[in-house]
Structure 1
Amino acid sequence: MAATARLRITSGDINGFIGLVVDNLSVLAFLAGALIGIFHFPAEVIFGRMFPGTAFGALIGNLIYTRMALRSGRADACAMPLGIDAPTTIGMGLLVLGPAFVAFKQQGMDENAAAIATWQLGMAAMVVMGVFKTILSFCGAAVQRLVPRAGLLGSIAGIALVLMGFFPLVDILRVPIVGLACLGIVLYALVAHGPLPGRIPGVLFSIIAGLVLYYALGPFDLLGPGFHAPSAPQWRFNLPWPSLGFIDGLKYTLPYLALILPFGLLMVVGGINVTESARAAGDDYPVRDILLTEALATLVAGICGGVAQTTPYIGQPAYRAMGGRSGYTFLTGVFLGLGGVFGYLSNLVEFIPLAVLAPILIFIAIHITMQAFEATPQKYFAAVVIAFFPAVARMLAIKLGDPGIVAPEHFAQLYTHADQGLPELAVIVILGNGFIITSMVWASFVVALIDHRLRHAAAIVLVGAALTLFGIIHSVDPNGSIYLPWTLDPSARGLVWQFTAAYVVLAATLFLLSLQPASSIDRS
């Protein structure tokens, strides 16, 4: 075994550190901005309870990845970057934590009690995902065999496109003078690979330019209502002590398992893919060690109060190309971990407006969506595209009729007003419930069709029928809860029957088509 290398901080590590920290800050900023701005969540619970544990998980994961790079014995080894996952963190904020907070208040809790219950739900979700990812770490290859790449990448690209791309774009255009300038710089530097003065990293240049515009124009009312003077920095000292609060939160997780478990699954598959990417760039790390580390980091984060899971970041070859070795992950982990404890992460999030950070999320969304096509054979592009539609439905449900935003008595009308067929907006909400698994089922079904494996496609559709029957996908409960169908009231049972029967009829149709004598049909 090679001797352990010594930790050294190079100029390339400084560049990698800046990029990795900014990526994490942008995700934390969007999480806080969405919870506070959309759902009116108490800021102090976010900054004082959620951030420390979340950042501590990133510290643990980055230190282990740093150690893995050093143990390789190679001075030029580039550590695997680890950070707070953007798509699932945005999904947690918009689809789980925010709606749950509103639902708790509607059940009669006061604001503080609702916020604590939501925090405990977030902790429990992290622990559930951490355990799930630990199990899947030992069977990652089997997961990849069962779900085609178009289904895995298409589902995460759907999240990226409509949740990670669209919502931040709205935040950019709420302060358009600043936001569009920052977006243009990010696209120029990171998409067009244009040169910048002094070879300054594109993300850092964008943030500096955005802050100059924001704080130079804002005080003179040139940004309209989009400018808000930053509050004075606050000393927030919060140690992320292990807590049993996640146990109290476990009872709240059931309605959200159809989101929580796919979030964990996506990180396992993503971890496998980025490990292969690092191996191609010259850094060969054991896949199981990479996956177990990030599963451990997620578990630690949840037990210590975190609400956002960690993941090995896409782009390890890019960090290697900019000169990053083992020092940049060490610096990032320490910066994030201490920032959660001493509160400067929350001060930075409050100081840097979302319009300045959101363009980074737009770039990541573009990159993830492009990757879904680049890593998928062209003949399966249709499967990738169809995986987007359930995510679009979920986005519309959030904006037009999500029960976390619209009062339940108003939302209930969506199920009763229709001239013909099922109510249109009810269909949108039902399609959006469990959208990640729906995307996987639909994309897998289309891949089987393209391969002329009609009976295999029929089997996938029957799986969709079973999932629909219990509300794992297409839940008729406005909150997206799973259920036993025979416990529902007659009108809801009728909706379940309609959607379940639709899958069964489709499966039967495909089976009958497979009976054709045409030699081109593979009946397997």
Structure 2
Amino acid sequence: MNVGTPTKQRSWFVAGDLNGFFGLVVDNLSILGFISAALIGIFGFPAEVIYTRMFPGTAFGVLVGNLIYTWMARRLAAKTGRDDVTAMPLGLDAPTSIGMALLVLGPAFVGFKQAGMDEAAAATATWQLGMASLIVMGLLKFVLSFFGDAVTRLIPRAGLLGSIAGVALVLMGFLPLIETLRSPMVGFMTLGLLLYVLIAKGRLPIKLPGVFVAFVFGTVLFYGFGALGLGAPGFTFPTPQPLNFVLPLPTLGFIDGLPYTVPYLPLLLPFGLLMVVGGINVSESARAAGDDYRTRDILLAEAFSTLVAGLVGGVAQTTPYIGQPAYKHMGARSGYTLLTGLFIGLGGMLGIVSGLVQWLPLAVLAPIIVYVALDITTQAFQATPGKHATAMVFGFLPSVAYMLAIKTGNPGWIAPDHHAQLMSALDGHGLPELAVIVTLGNGFIMTSMIWTSAVAAMVDGRLRRAAAFLLAGAGLALFGIIHSVDPRGGVYLPWALEGLSRTIAWQFIGAYIGLAVLLVLLSFQRDPVAAPPQA
């Protein structure tokens, strides 16, 4: 009779898991805090909808994803016989979560109210839009999980990272910086402390994580100055929200929200694509650190957790974090993801998460987002070939146009009362300036991806490949996926356009086609692009 070898019992928690848990929880709380602060403070969104509808489902997605990654880590440890396997950290993605708040949910809420909805109906419609957005991004991630490598071969790294870096620098950097400086005594000092500990790698007199210290320091300053009458004008202490148990149950509300996603597809599709590329990168990072996770499994897990979150009311997608090697160096194993998932997931249901984030002022959260924006932009340049740097900067410019459109209220320049005024302003030198700004800003992430990819291909001497990117841009512009002449960025059938709108649309389409033809003709030269000088 053979006696099987006893299975080795591995501890669920080690000392390093506590450090990893704290760092991962702070990351997730800061993102949830900014979502609520931005929606409430900037757009006037009802807090009750955020805390009782959006957050429980969003937090549940974090719970599901971390449970899966915990199981994957323990399975890998059992398979390899190693005790030092570290789970992949999962949480809310900073760029796209912040982008959802600033570029999708907030503007949609304002738009619904302008369309005649009362506040309650507008908030419900916005929530449904958020759920539907997660379903759209989750399905895209699920499909691309099987083709991730092909995507990265098709689109150069400069195109993928540069488009998001532009969003980070111009929108995630500049707009939160304005919020930071609305309470300069608090915001600027908090930002400076973050830059000291995170960029300069400065030491603190106490052995606590720098982000946590900045949170506490800034919050104490904010409420301390407010209590002394030195804070922001109109300062008041927040009204505590009661702790309510909200079980995130499946809902079909996302079906009602699907039609609302159409104008935002030029934002949502790149958001989902970025997570696929990010998942591939973090899998490679973990593999280099010694933990050989299957890339497809990592991608499928994040797609599944995003879909689950959307199905139960969530509005921000989950992603594996790039810092898996850093958590390994902390000594974390698989317990920290289990603890994080339980804390965020159960805390979201019980109202604990909402109770914590409502006391974090925007002047304290915004500096953290500014740092994230700087870090994303820096990483984009570090991970991209130096010869493509100028191409990447060129791709930042559509984000500038979108920011200008936001700050000018994205006016209806094709509405009847503006149309005649714009037509009378035509001077023979070109299209109306305001119309160009709005058209350039609509679909700005995909525009940036195409521009950067085309210029990078030119730099590589692959002119026909650059022409192919430009022709793809012409096809997208034909239906308003990029350069939409609808001020809201909506898509349309090209033959439905008329007047000035039709003129602007075909001018942009013709520009892409014309440059593509020119590059094809130039490609027939023997050496169309000079080789770089030898060092």
Q: TM-score, with normalisation over the residues of structure 2?
A: 0.93
Residue correspondences, number: 521
Which of residues 326, 350, 357 in structure 1 aligns to 2:358?
A: 350
Taking the aligned partners of 2:400 and 2:330, their CA distance within structure 1 comes to 36
Which of residues 227, 230, 240 in structure 2 aligns to 1:222?
A: 230
Note if contact 1:99-1:403 (Cα within 8 Å) is conserved in structure 2.
Answer: no
Partner residue in 1 for 2:486: 477
Shift of residue 442, structure 1, vs aligned partner: 0.6
AA matched with 1:60: V
Q: 1:213-237 CA distances to partner (integer Å, 9 max, x unpaired)?
A: 1222211111231733121242222
Taking the aligned partners of 1:408 and 1:25, their CA distance within structure 2 comes to 42
Note if contact 1:414-1:423 (Cα within 8 Å) is conserved in structure 2.
Answer: no
Call closer, same or farther: CA 1:56–1:516 in 2, change over 3 Å. Answer: same
Q: 1:110-168 CA distances to partner (integer Å, 9 max, x unpaired)?
A: 11111111111111111111111000000000000000000001011112112222222
Call closer, same or farther: CA 1:519–1:127 in 2, change over 3 Å. Answer: closer
Taking the aligned partners of 2:501 and 2:441, their CA distance within structure 1 comes to 16
Partner residue in 2 for 1:86: 94
Which of residues 27, 34, 44 in structure 2 aligns to 1:30?
A: 34
Tell me how large the CA RMSD over aligned residues is.
Answer: 2.2
AA matched with 2:35: L
Note if contact 1:5-1:72 (Cα within 8 Å) is conserved in structure 2.
Answer: no
Call closer, same or farther: CA 1:353–1:206 in 2, change over 3 Å. Answer: same
Task: State whether structure 2 residue 85 is matched by structure 1 residue 77.
Answer: yes
Taking the aligned partners of 2:420 and 2:474, their CA distance within structure 1 comes to 26
Taking the aligned partners of 1:373 and 1:29, their CA distance within structure 2 comes to 28
Task: State whether structure 2 residue 372 is matched by structure 1 residue 368.
Answer: no
The worse-fitting range, judged by mean Cα deviation, of 21-30 and 284-293 is: 21-30
Taking the aligned partners of 2:262 and 2:7, their CA distance within structure 1 comes to 48
Task: State whether structure 2 residue 316 is matched by structure 1 residue 308.
Answer: yes
State the secondary structure of the residue aligned to 2:91: strand
Taking the aligned partners of 1:99 and 1:413, their CA distance within structure 2 comes to 27
Taking the aligned partners of 1:109 and 1:500, their CA distance within structure 2 comes to 35
Report 1:5-84 matches (<5 A).
6-73=10-77, 74-84=82-92
Shift of residue 2, structure 1, vs aligned partner: 12
Shift of residue 401, structure 1, vs aligned partner: 3.0
Taking the aligned partners of 1:266 and 1:476, their CA distance within structure 2 comes to 26
Call closer, same or farther: CA 1:414–1:220 in 2, change over 3 Å. Answer: farther
Task: State whether structure 2 residue 334 is matched by structure 1 residue 326.
Answer: yes
Which of residues 356, 367, 373 in structure 2 aligns to 1:359?
A: 367
Which of residues 404, 423, 448 in structure 2 aligns to 1:396?
A: 404
Shift of residue 521, structure 1, vs aligned partner: 7.4
Report 1:200-279 matches (<5 A).
200-225=208-233, 227-279=235-287
Shift of residue 520, structure 1, vs aligned partner: 5.5
Report 1:168-187 matches (<5 A).
168-187=176-195
Which of residues 105, 119, 122 in structure 2 aligns to 1:114?
A: 122
Shift of residue 413, structure 1, vs aligned partner: 8.2
**Which consecutive unaligned segments of at least 5 residues does structure 2 have?**
none
The worse-fitting range, judged by mean Cα deviation, of 149-158 and 20-29 is: 20-29
Taking the aligned partners of 2:303 and 2:507, their CA distance within structure 1 comes to 39
State the secondary structure of the residue aligned to 1:197: coil
Note if contact 2:166-2:399 (Cα within 8 Å) is conserved in structure 1.
Answer: yes
AA matched with 1:59: L
Which of residues 422, 433, 442 in structure 1 aligns to 2:442?
A: 433
Shift of residue 408, structure 1, vs aligned partner: 6.9
State the secondary structure of the residue aligned to 2:319: strand
The worse-fitting range, judged by mean Cα deviation, of 471-480 and 424-433 is: 424-433
Call closer, same or farther: CA 1:88–1:418 in 2, change over 3 Å. Answer: farther
Note if contact 1:5-1:71 (Cα within 8 Å) is conserved in structure 2.
Answer: no
State the secondary structure of the residue aligned to 2:206: helix
AA matched with 2:463: L
Partner residue in 1 for 2:156: 148
Taking the aligned partners of 1:11 and 1:361, their CA distance within structure 2 comes to 30
Shift of residue 3, structure 1, vs aligned partner: 5.9
AA matched with 1:487: A
Taking the aligned partners of 1:217 and 1:156, their CA distance within structure 2 comes to 36
Call closer, same or farther: CA 1:80–1:514 in 2, change over 3 Å. Answer: same
Call closer, same or farther: CA 1:66–1:510 in 2, change over 3 Å. Answer: same
Q: 1:423-456 CA distances to partner (integer Å, 9 max, x unpaired)?
A: 2122111111111111110111011100111122
AA matched with 1:261: L
Call closer, same or farther: CA 1:518–1:80 in 2, change over 3 Å. Answer: closer
The worse-fitting range, judged by mean Cα deviation, of 50-59 and 278-287 is: 278-287
Partner residue in 1 for 2:131: 123
Could you tell me the percent identity over the aligned residues? Answer: 63
Note if contact 2:38-2:362 (Cα within 8 Å) is conserved in structure 1.
Answer: no
Note if contact 2:414-2:487 (Cα within 8 Å) is conserved in structure 1.
Answer: no
AA matched with 1:507: A
Q: 1:324-347 CA distances to partner (integer Å, 9 max, x unpaired)?
A: 221211111111111211112111
Taking the aligned partners of 2:463 and 2:182, their CA distance within structure 1 comes to 48
Task: State whether structure 2 residue 138 is matched by structure 1 residue 134.
Answer: no
Call closer, same or farther: CA 1:147–1:5 in 2, change over 3 Å. Answer: farther
Task: State whether structure 2 residue 99 is matched by structure 1 residue 95.
Answer: no
Shift of residue 412, structure 1, vs aligned partner: 6.5
Report 1:509-524 matches (<5 A).
509-518=518-527
Taking the aligned partners of 1:500 and 1:172, their CA distance within structure 2 comes to 40
Note if contact 2:196-2:202 (Cα within 8 Å) is conserved in structure 1.
Answer: yes
Q: 1:44-76 CA distances to partner (integer Å, 9 max, x unpaired)?
A: 111111111001001100111111111122322
Q: TM-score, with normalisation over the residues of structure 1?
A: 0.95
Call closer, same or farther: CA 1:2–1:375 in 2, change over 3 Å. Answer: farther
Q: 1:324-376 CA distances to partner (integer Å, 9 max, x unpaired)?
A: 22121111111111121111211111111122122222222121111111111
State the secondary structure of the residue aligned to 1:241: coil
